[in-house]
Structure 1
């Protein structure tokens, strides 16, 4: 049975990747004195031929390829409860025709004529502002049928950015749901808190539109009340519960300022009554204007064509799927990362191309575990933050177990780790049956592949998940401008002799590392590895930024290379490692360069840390940080270590001072009785967390100058809503530094550091 195989030999379960491929994963050539890197997979031919289809030139053919395979397609849970209900591929084929035809019949949209296809500015623009749901993709596919271009408006964008997108694109139609009517009303009338800034709104003054072109809002809720025998919305009957508080007021306000509100059902009815022949796109047809986060100014709209997305989708399919994988309609992807992002769209297109299913989460990330248990997905695309929390939760559960259960877990883990080192990753061992099945069932029990994007994930966590879940865990890297996926780790690369990495370029791309000046970045360790700014060239690179030639010229050079703004290096096995954003890497007073994002990712491996933001200072020789604790884990850990008595945690000096906002009137006061904010005030709690993250930093080989020397704890998390997270859930560093400037400066002053300069 060797290495604990339950039923089959390893070689009967999966193939093993050849060592010569893993030892040197990219091909290197030279151009104009610079090294050019490509993956070893052959680029697709002019027909985008893969082993799953051919003659795939646009997203229109992507859908048709999946439709030929047939079966269930888009699934949802009614009101977030019960089993998943699926639309079939044929159902969606009908709906996309009806929706696209309805846009033409109701709103006067004119598809581009054949001679105009691919020319700038000829495609009608259709806006979408809602969370992931079947209607999102129905509308998108309706746009594809008639060569309309889609403009996602992130629901997490600040109102200024959303207003900028609406005005710049001159959108006339916005598809949304009831829960966003308040946000839309405040955005287009400048009446939200963000715009008023504590000014009182004069209720007698009539509201005016601050967006010149928006005329129609299409409501996509599936349970709207309608007037008798029509699909006209009876807004006075809309229930005002939960997120829909005062929704009738905002509905009426929009009507009063001249916005026509129509149901998606009415759009479909108009299209069904008068279906229009499809006007399929060509490769150069604009598919989407996808706006970036805009953390340091107005968002930039990346112009992405059908060629960009189709090439990326087919290449990812070809490069990603192992030859021994059998793909069927039973395979399912859970869609929860925002469809406004290119990454989630690429995954949905790959899944569609293969004729698989997509199940949408119920809209609440905190309840995604319930959705996963019901859907039992085989494909899971996620971000490091969630997997870091999963890792911490499993480790914590193991730590709390008995000595016997801990020893059994460690023994089983080492057996599976040896299997991984021998070149196999699966869940068909006796150790999966006896030890890891409970963990695997938390993810539905059918997981075959996890793909991680958005930010680097530590190799220890990736290895841990490969062992315990018994599935492929792949890291990808890219940007909106590269159509999401630019690099991807190989399915057979399970070990990290040189640290974590994001694999190699897709077969449709080539990559180079552009040297950066000495003043911007110098490697901290002596190495022969190639360092610099990561650049890509290929068929997936955007045409440019919408109405912004200046930024386009800054990003895409004369030779067609897109400059990502990310610093990376080529490792000895010719894989790519991300170091951090070029603009965020800074130099300490003594001359050492640091990447705060790298440090933050490591500190978030602590079970006690939910979020953190690390900064430097112009004249400071060290780093400090703000930590948002994981309060549940913190309380549990203190209880396990019999340190949950507040009387024991608080020092005599603190008791005598007036610094604490709470009083210790009893020796029996427990940490569980304190609020999160009160816990953050206790010095010993801060010391416990600081000690923990420093220990983890040492384990992960952080150098002394990369470790923080002082921290403070806060109870308010960084969120999209408070502007401290970008739409892609990364720290919005400018906003965090601005909000907590005084806090950071105080941390530096406590260390005797000069604070005359600026936070870095």
Structure 2
């Protein structure tokens, strides 16, 4: 496997040398696709290079049986015609209803609120045609989040699916900037979809009346396209420095942040991904919410080499069914979804009893050894006996599986390499880096790393001595990962102070601690901030949870910890002696047991865990904030190590976590890794 390229003499005090992709040592893309500078030009390249190829597809919906059929496609040429007419129609809509230009950006935004579907991407590309930018809006996190997005981005026009229109009208008094709603579905309900099943001509007439009373223009996309067809306008192509989107983060770790991303940043990131992945003529399943950055990053990356984009039907329980119908060649997936699939599939193969389980386990061991040795992904015997059946559930045509969000469990990564007979790679990115940054190379068969810098991306490590991480650590340098590249965001919408906080000159501080391994790959190690990221792909702030857990009458202090490969938390529990001892003696059935023995008793540990879970339920904690296993300490933490606290008695989380690292791993190994299948895919980032 190729190593990261180390830029000679680039280290400075407190920082590591600069690392780059081994094939792009100059830090640039070497001129490849240099004529494509905006996403508008990228789509033009697709139409010119691959005319009349299948481009966007969605499954036919049958309301009578609530079922889905085959994929119906539009070609690149048909998409270009629709985008031209829709763009012209939007020009007329803005001129009539919303001629104002955003004072801070000098452009006009259009909001998009819908699950993934062809109209989502058609709307975005039509916006680019007229130098506008998109703002993804979500109401799955609550009405307030949608209102915040609309107001902070000053959205006057929004395109949405029909099922979202009532909610848009409900919040009209709190979103005064909104002037136009464009329905992606026909307002006469003549074309059924999942979004129209609760509507009829009469209910739509009521919506029209409500919109008129609220002074909001309600149109459908076909009307806007017809307007553009009759009154074509000249395209106003965007510049590389123009905004292409404001991408709002999920807000799970605090207030939502509107990340400003330019065409230049998007093109640089997606071009780098294309050069790394080297995938052409791709069939891609789009199922992760297009509101967030990861799926759009993948869509535009694959456009460099042509892509058929089939959109999921929107039901997470039918995701495997979508794959079997579409037969994608590349699948991008978050660890939470892959772990969920692993739980289900591994239980029926390597976890099975009898001869089936024996064969599956032997086959996995044999194939994993073969793949690690670089001898290919196929095995004539084991694929025929075991793994072709698994691959068929994913459509039987996967050539590459890419994961991002949080690190993959090595067992899961190895399993799917064998089961799908293809490479399974990881990457790293943030919304602020257009989801790009690092990616495993195609010849990397190892686990526990997030790859090397993408082409055109510089990485360096900044020492964090207070946490014990230094860029001079041997044999593996460690520190906060810093990124310098054209992929970086332009700032946070309306928040210049927060923008300054994250930047160190031309370098962006990621907040993530990584190490450079001996083979030149980079691995995730820790987080600087106190938030933890669990396998739900959602950041968790421990302090508020600990405050509630520590209020239980049986405990003095609870210290929680999360792991990116598990769904529940573990905790260090310091009991309250006066209440705990008599209670624990009754649980253990040991009338004379002392505190130390009671803290080591498994039955007591299980019961105190249940007590804390009951408390969490009473306080409406979500599943990701539940404690699954505990380690009990008979004495306060400052008696174990005075370095656990500052002079002002603030907990030094990183020191506590380092001290209990081995114990945490033991606790995590006892947890059940199954997950509620109803967890919304749209919440993933």
TM-score by length of 2: 0.75
1:332–1:378 CA contact under 8 A, matched in 2: yes
Instruction: Look up the SS of the partner of 2:349 in the other structure.
Output: helix
CA distance in 2, matches of 1:95, 1:726: 27
Q: How does 1:370-409 map to 2 (within 5 A)?
A: 370-398=321-349, 401-409=352-360
Q: Alpha-carbon deviation of 1:527?
A: 6.0
Residue 364 of structure 1 aligns with which residue? 315
Partners of 1:119 and 1:210 in 2: CA distance? 21
Q: 2:58 aligns with which of 62, 65, 76?
A: 76
Distance in 2 between the 1:160 and 1:254 partners? 20
8 Å CA contact 1:119, 1:285 repeated in 2: no
Judging changes above 3 Å, is the alpha-carbon distance between structure 1 residues 146 and 318 closer, same or farther for their aligned structure 2 residues?
same
Structure 1 residues 56 and 714: alpha-carbon distance in aligned structure 2, compared to 1, 3 A threshold: closer
Name the CA distance, whole Å, in 2 between partners of 1:713 and 1:381.
Answer: 25
Deviations 1:175-222 (A, max 9, x none): 101222343344x25xxxxxxxxxxxxxxxxxxx11221001110025
Asked if the contact 1:131–1:155 (Cα under 8 Å) also holds between the matched residues in 2, the reply is no
Paired residue for 2:183?
Answer: 219
Question: 1:429: how far off?
Answer: 3.0
What's the offset of the Cα at 1:224?
4.0
Q: Following the alignment from structure 1 to structure 2, what is the Cα–Cα distance between the partners of residues 716 and 42? A: 41
Partner SS for 2:568: strand
Deviations 1:44-66 (A, max 9, x none): 9988743xx55111112211222
Which residue in 2 is equivalent to 1:758? none
561, 566, 577: which one aligns with 1:596: 561
- From the superposition, tell whether residues 714 and 260 of structure 1 become closer, same or farther in structure 2 (CA, over 3 Å): farther
**Alignment of 1:704 onto 2:666:** no
Judged with a 3 Å threshold, the aligned counterparts in structure 2 of structure 1 residues 241 and 119 are, in CA distance, closer, same or farther, namely closer
Which among 162, 169, 181 is matched to residue 178 of structure 1?
162
Match of 1:542 among 471, 489, 494: 489
Mapped pair 1:105 → 2:92: yes
* Shift in CA distance, 410/294, structure 1 to aligned 2, threshold 3 Å: closer
1:25 corresponds to which residue?
4
Question: Measured at CA, do residues 516 and 210 of structure 1 come closer, stay the same or move farther in structure 2, by a change above 3 Å?
Answer: same
Q: Secondary structure at the match of 1:78?
A: strand
Count of paired positions: 573
Does 2:102 match 1:151? no
Matched, 1:169 2:122: no
* Equivalent in the alignment of 1:665: none
2:442 is aligned with 1:491: yes
Q: Does the 8 Å CA contact 1:375/1:444 hold for their aligned counterparts?
A: yes
Output the CA distance in 1 between the equivalents of 2:292 and 2:30: 24
1:454: Cα distance to partner?
1.0
Q: CA RMSD in A?
A: 4.0
Matches of 2:26 and 2:140, distance apart in 1:
36
8 Å contact 1:26–1:575 — kept in the other structure? no
1:491-640 maps to which residues of 2 (within 5 A)?
491-496=442-447, 500-518=448-466, 520=467, 528-557=475-504, 559-583=505-529, 584=531, 596-598=561-563, 600-601=564-565, 604=566, 611-614=567-570
Contact kept? 2:350, 2:360, Cα under 8 Å: no
Give, in whole Å, the separation in 2 of the partners of 1:426 and 1:710.
29
Q: Does the 8 Å CA contact 1:185/1:254 hold for their aligned counterparts?
A: yes
How many angstroms apart in 1 are the aligned matches of 2:353 and 2:674? 32
CA distance in 1, matches of 2:355, 2:438: 42
Confirm or deny: 8 A CA contact 2:427 2:450 kept in the other structure.
yes
Change (3 A) 1:464 1:219: same
Distance 2:380 2:337 in 1: 26
Instruction: Tell me which residue corresponds to 2:582.
Output: none
- Shift in Å, 1:280: 1.2
Would you say the 8 A contact 1:319–1:507 is kept in 2?
yes
**Structure 1 residues 412 and 347: CA distance shift in structure 2, 3 A:** same
1:240 aligns with 2:206: no
- Per the alignment, residue 305 of structure 2 pairs with 354
Q: State how far apart, in whole Å, the 2-side matches of 1:409 and 1:336 are.
A: 30
Give me the whole-angstrom Cα distance separating, in 2, the residues matched to 1:153 and 1:121: 18
**Pair 459,425 (structure 1): closer, same or farther in 2 beyond 3 Å:** farther
Gaps of 5+ in 1: 1-18, 190-208, 605-610, 621-650, 660-676, 678-685, 692-700, 730-760
8 Å CA contact retained: 1:49, 1:56: no
Change (3 A) 1:713 1:32: closer
Q: Distance in 2 between matches of 1:614 and 1:365?
A: 28
Higher mean C-alpha displacement, 69-78 vs 57-66 = 57-66
SS at match of 1:333: strand
5 Å matches for 1:269-348?
269-321=226-278, 327-328=280-281, 331-348=282-299
| TM-score normalized by the length of structure 1 | 0.68
SS of residue paired to 1:77: strand
Residues 535 and 562 of structure 1 are in contact (CA less than 8 Å); yes or no, is this contact kept in structure 2? Answer: yes
Q: Which residue of 2 aligns with 1:727?
A: 683
Task: Give the Cα–Cα distance (whole angstroms) in 2 for the partners of residues 720 and 247 of structure 1.
Answer: 31
Cα distance in structure 2, aligned partners of 1:73 and 1:147 = 23
Pair 164,119 (structure 1): closer, same or farther in 2 beyond 3 Å: closer
Give yes or no for contact 2:111–2:134 (8 Å, CA) kept in 1: yes
Q: 1:121 aligns with which of 93, 100, 105?
A: 105
What CA distance in whole angstroms lies between the structure 1 residues aligned with 2:512 and 2:437? 13
Asked if 1 retains the 8 angstrom alpha-carbon contact of 2:343 and 2:674, the reply is no
**Structure 2 counterparts to residues 469-484 of structure 1, below 5 A:** 469-484=420-435
Residue 171 of structure 1: CA displacement?
A: 0.7
Would the alpha carbon gap of residues 297 and 407 (structure 1) be closer, same or farther in structure 2, given more than 3 Å must change? closer
Deviation at 1:397, TM superposition (A): 0.7
Structure 2 spans left out of the alignment, 5+ residues? 62-66, 533-541, 551-558, 577-602, 612-616, 618-625, 631-659
User: How far off its partner does 1:568 sit?
Assistant: 2.1
Report what 2:639 is aligned to: none
- Residue 657 of structure 2 corresponds to none
Q: Give the distance between the partners of 1:575 and 1:427, measured in 2 at CA.
A: 26
Q: Could you tell me whether the CA contact under 8 Å between 1:73 and 1:89 is conserved in 2?
A: yes
Q: Distance in 2 between matches of 1:110 and 1:307?
A: 30
Q: Is the 8 A contact 1:476 1:488 kept in 2?
A: yes
Listed one character per residue, the Cα deviations across residues 479-523 of structure 1 (whole Å, up to 9, x for unaligned) are 010011111011111024xxx1110111111112222252x5669
